[in-house]
């Protein structure tokens, strides 16, 4: 029996086997392995060596068919406990799975072709329709509203506002930035030193109003020391630091 086919008709060895089964109109669960193998080998002989990778797949299947054919020709060894396993079983399972996926691919291809015939239009809404607002009937909206309901709603809103207030942070006052100028503080200390030849460093700092002013005063003392307008001394460790003025009155 002659068989003239082309390689590009089939997507692989399983596809060729399904074609041969359909052509011979045989049951996939009862494959006449001898006849199908002969037809498959005839197809292999007529193939042209175009793609060795594709050719190798067909040759592997040919070897599988020959192996199954040889097992079918040998007498089956049956035991009392179990029947002999059909050597075609694995091949049948592969063919059924391939056939299922092939049918699914045809279904998807049909859906793709149907989808290509469908045209979609971007939604366009006229300006007057987009700007339309449904009128509100105030009388109907306020029909079941009473003073008690309004009062309950008001209390509920106020209660939510109170819940948002931090009980700790809400008691903090506004913190204002202290504006203390180093140059102004230096002028103040220089004038103070003119009338106070000797004074206490501790008393000077205690007379300041805030932390920032204390810091600036300390810096001013350092600057005046650098300029030689004042000197500092301490009799003993941990004693009060004394400041001596070098500024002429």
- Nearest residue to 217 via CA among 226, 228, 208: 208
pLDDT of residue 8: 45
Return mean pLDDT, the chain: 79
Look at 6-20, 26-40, 149-163 and tell me which has the smallest mean pLDDT: 6-20
> Which residue ranges form the domains of the chain, and what is each CATH number?
7-75+86-116 (no CATH), 182-245 (1.10.10.580)
CA dist 137 → 68, 141, 143 (Å): 85, 6, 10
Cα 244 from chain centroid? 70
For the residues 138-144, what does the mean pLDDT come to?
A: 75
Q: pLDDT tens for residues 20-31?
A: 888 888 787 778
Structure tokens given for 214 = 């204390």
Alpha carbon distance 110, 116 (integer Å): 10
Residues 209 and 244 sit within 8 Å (Cβ to Cβ)? no
Q: pLDDT tens for residues 39-75?
A: 888 877 776 555 556 677 777 888 888 888 788 777 7
For the residues 134-140, what does the mean pLDDT come to?
A: 79
Q: pTM surpassing 0.85?
A: no
Residues 40 and 20 sit within 8 Å (Cβ to Cβ)? yes
Confidence band for 125, pLDDT divided at 50, 70 and 90: confident
């Amino acid at each position: 029996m002659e068989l003239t086919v082309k390689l590009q008709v089939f997507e692989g060895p399983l596809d060729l086997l399904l074609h041969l089964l359909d052509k011979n109109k045989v049951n996939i669960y009862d494959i006449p392995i001898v006849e199908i193998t002969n037809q498959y080998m005839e197809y292999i002989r007529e193939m042209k060596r175009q793609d060795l990778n594709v050719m190798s797949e067909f040759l592997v299947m040919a070897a599988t068919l020959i192996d199954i054919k040889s097992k079918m020709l040998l007498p089956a060894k049956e035991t009392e406990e179990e029947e002999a396993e059909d050597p075609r079983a694995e091949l049948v399972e592969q063919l059924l799975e391939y056939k299922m996926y092939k049918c699914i691919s045809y279904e998807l291809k049909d859906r793709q072709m149907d989808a290509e015939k469908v045209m979609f239009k971007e939604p366009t809404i006229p300006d007057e329709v987009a700007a339309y607002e449904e009128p509100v009937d105030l009388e109907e909206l306020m029909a079941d509203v009473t003073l008690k309901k309004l009062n309950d709603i008001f209390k509920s809103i106020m209660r939510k506002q109170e819940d948002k207030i931090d009980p700790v942070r809400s008691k903090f006052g506004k913190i204002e930035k202290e504006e203390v100028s180093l140059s102004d503080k230096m002028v103040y200390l220089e004038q103070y030193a003119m009338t106070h030849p000797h004074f206490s460093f501790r008393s000077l700092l205690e007379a300041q109003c805030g932390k920032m002013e204390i810091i600036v005063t300390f810096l001013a003392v350092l600057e005046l020391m650098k300029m030689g307008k004042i000197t500092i001394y301490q009799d003993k460790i941990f004693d009060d630091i004394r400041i001596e003025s070098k500024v002429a009155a």
